[in-house]
Chains A and B, each alone.
Chain A
Amino acid sequence: MTSDTERPAASPSVAGRLNAPRRALVETTVGGEPRLVDRELVTVVREEWRVVDRWWTDDPVDRRYFEVVLESGRNVCVYRDGERRCWFTQRA
């Protein structure tokens, strides 16, 4: 005889986010543009744009994105989170 608790329960699998932002160490110029990303010098700022969304929710989004080329030739996308006041790296 078995009890109900012994039966296998369906454990919901949790969907993960793809391309979740990761913390980045960024030093900026006076104008707020990135000068160093993860201790690597920025040679060119290729593009800059802003994303302001979900301002009507409890979790608003206010980001200033920069697509930069580093000294090593790597292309990186970083943004400054205006809400949390910190920097993240993410593939845009």
Chain B
Amino acid sequence: MIACLLIPGFELRAALRTRPRLAVVPAALAPEPGREQLVGPVTAAAEAAGVTAGMRLGEALATCPELVLVDPDPAGAEREWEGVLRRLEDAGFAVEPVEPGVVVFETLGVERLYGGVEAALTRAIASVGPAWDPRAGAGQRRFVALAAASVARPGQAVIVEGEEERSFLEPLPLSLLPLDEGRYAELEGLGVRTLGSLAALPGGAVAERLGQEGKRAWSLARGGERRRVRGRSPAAELIEALSFPEAVANELTLRRAFGALLDRILARPERAGRPFRKLALAARLVGGGSWRRTVTLREASAERGRLRAALGPKLTEIPAPVVELRLEAVELAEQTGQQLALVAPEGEEMGSRLREGLRQVRASAGGGAVGGVVEVAPWSRIPEARALVVPRDV
């Protein structure tokens, strides 16, 4: 069977991990800077006050003036989500993450280990932990599993057998389908309010009226396609981070700090010569928020210049001064082969000798013995603000 584990409002829950007090008051995830001004997931108290996820910010504040807006923490959410996925993997599930808060996995391989589907789902819920209020569902198809998880209570698992699928989906609301707000209204205007009533319509007529999106929704309302779950490959563990003595907003400083992080991650022995396929650049912002961008390279590379060119421009998108900058290797390529140049570039031998010398210093004097000087504000009138000493691996 295909199982789905659901954590509703995951981004908000992740952002509230450091401020648990806000979980019991009306609070909502604030819109990201530069995006449409719609509130994200909301707490139960906010929902009771009439605020719903996706509401316009002005409308939400007018509905509930005491609403607390929680700054989104995408890097924190990503980290917490990775933790959830790893706990599931540690329990033996080959997970395929759909989005933060939604993950699917195949139960076949672990049913005998835990003694059935229900026991496996109970184990999955327990491995995630009660703090996240996870709920699980299982069915023969992905959408059925997602729908089952959506109707389950926190900590509960709902299993839908093959012959029950149709009767299970029929009374469920259209909000389970991935449709635009306007489409819901259009369907409700036509008197279609449940998955059953949508599934009962002829497919051709739905496609003609609502286009490709409508056809897909119609297909899902009938259970969706049978697609196998593909467990993800384990994530890489390479992370380099640099904390600043004071918040940095200067792009030049950030570029230099990024250069130092790049040098350090390239020097990590765990990489074993493998080039990077996917990298993430994250920042902890002053005031508690965070920022994160992921870049997938068209061609896996371990060349400093190429990595700089791919990730460097992202630094200009950071919306606030940075307290900590992180560089994460999300995925490494498997091949280690590299086309060598016929003539070694000038200065390469000198560089390799210098690196060898520094390696020896590090081996004899310890990890923090080798550092690099990064000029951060050479124009500053305050001498100690002009440069930083950054510990580096060689």
Contact = CB atoms under 8 A, between A and B. Distances in A.
* A, B bound: yes
Interface stretch (B33-41, B131-139, B308-316, B384-392): B384-392
A12 B324 contact: yes
Contacts of B87: 3-4
B382 A61 contact: yes
A30 interface: no
A17 interface: yes
Contacts of A3: 87, 90
A53 B380 CA distance: 10
Contact of B239 (A4, A10, A92): A10
A13 B381 contact: no
Contacts of A4: 83, 86-87, 90
B245 interface: yes
A15 B244 contact: yes
A53 B381 contact: yes
B389 A16 contact: yes
Interface residues of A, number: 25
Residue among A12, A53, A91 facing the most chain B CB atoms (10 A cut-off): A12
Contact of A14 (B237, B243, B257, B385): B243
A29 to B, nearest CB: 25
Residue among A7, A8, A15, A91 facing the most chain B CB atoms (10 A cut-off): A15
B243 A16 contact: no
B240 interface: yes
A11 to B, nearest CB: 8
Contact of A20 (B241, B374, B384, B390): B384
Interface in B214-258: 237, 239-245, 257
Contact of A19 (B381, B384, B391): B384
Chain B contact-residue range equals 20 to 34
B104 to A, nearest CB: 20
A15 B374 contact: yes
Nearest to A18: B387
Residue among A4, A90, A91 facing the most chain B CB atoms (10 A cut-off): A4
Interface in B295-310: none
Contacts of A11: 241
Contact of B237 (A8, A20, A51, A91): A8
Given A12-B241, A17-B384, A7 B86 contact: yes
Interface in A9-66: 10-21, 51, 53-54, 61
Given A1-B90, A53-B381, A53-B382, A18 B389 contact: yes
Nearest to A16: B389
A91 B383 contact: yes
Contacts of A72: none
A12 B243 contact: yes
A67 to B, nearest CB: 12
B242 A10 contact: no
A13 B390 contact: yes
B363 interface: no
B383 A15 contact: no
Contacts of B83: 4
Nearest to B380: A53
B382 A51 contact: yes
A13 B388 CA distance: 12
A34 B386 CA distance: 26
Contacts of B382: 51, 53-54, 61
B91 interface: yes
B373 interface: yes
Contacts of A7: 86, 237
B386 A18 contact: yes
Lowest 6 CB-CB distances: which A-B pairs, in order?
Answer: A10-B239, A12-B241, A15-B388, A18-B387, A16-B389, A13-B391
Given A4-B90, A15-B245, A21-B384, 18 more contacts: A1-B91, A2-B90, A3-B87, A4-B87, A7-B86, A14-B242, A14-B245, A15-B257, A15-B390, A16-B388, A18-B388, A18-B389, A19-B383, A19-B387, A21-B383, A51-B382, A54-B382, A90-B384
Interface of A: 1-4, 7-8, 10-21, 51, 53-54, 61, 90-92
18 contacts: A3-B87, A3-B90, A4-B86, A7-B237, A8-B237, A12-B326, A13-B390, A15-B243, A15-B257, A15-B374, A15-B390, A16-B245, A17-B385, A19-B384, A51-B381, A53-B382, A61-B382, A90-B384
